Amino acid sequence: HVQLVESGGGSVQAGGSLRLSCAASGYTYSSKFMGWFRQAPGKEREGVAAIYTGDGRTYYADSVKGRFIISQDNAKNTVYLQMNSLKPEDTAMYYCAADYGGSWYEVLLHEHYNYWGQGTQVTVSS
């Protein structure tokens, strides 16, 4: 039984920081792609960042490059998303995803992930 459990969301003012965590269980975590996605009300789910747990390669959406950092702790089967310089437009529900079935250049497309967490809300006020 695969479980992805996100935590770390909350409310911050613009310019602040948050760190999200995604703990994976029941899943072979090593040498796999894992991703962070977000969805704001009335908008499509969009890819934010992804990481290949085999060698730590990272991928970012242009909208978060230079502000967000995805990382991993293999001993804990956990992926993190450090979010800095937050903006009101970062407000969304953030989801962790695993079991990627596409090509490396599509890692920020949600269609190719099969397992999802329940989400954690991030709200950034101006």
Mean pLDDT of successive 10-residue stretches along the chain, which has 126 residues? 94 98 88 94 96 94 98 94 98 96 91 95 97
Q: What is residue 1's predicted lDDT score, i.e. its pLDDT?
A: 84
Q: What is residue 66's predicted lDDT score, i.e. its pLDDT?
A: 97
CB 9 within 8 Å of CB 33: no
For residue 104, CA distances in Å to 33, 110, 125 come to 9, 13, 34
- The two tokens of residue 125 are 């006020």
Each residue's pLDDT tens digit, 82-116: 999 999 999 999 999 998 888 888 999 999 999 99
Q: What is residue 15's predicted lDDT score, i.e. its pLDDT?
A: 98
Q: What is residue 72's predicted lDDT score, i.e. its pLDDT?
A: 95
d(CA 89, CA 97): 21
Q: Beta strands 92-100 and 33-39: pairing type?
A: antiparallel
Q: What is residue 92's predicted lDDT score, i.e. its pLDDT?
A: 98
- Phi/psi at 61 (5° precision): -70, 150
d(CA 123, CA 126): 10
How many CB atoms lie under 10 A from the CB of residue 19?
14
Angle at 1 between CA 96 and CA 74, to 5 degrees: 50
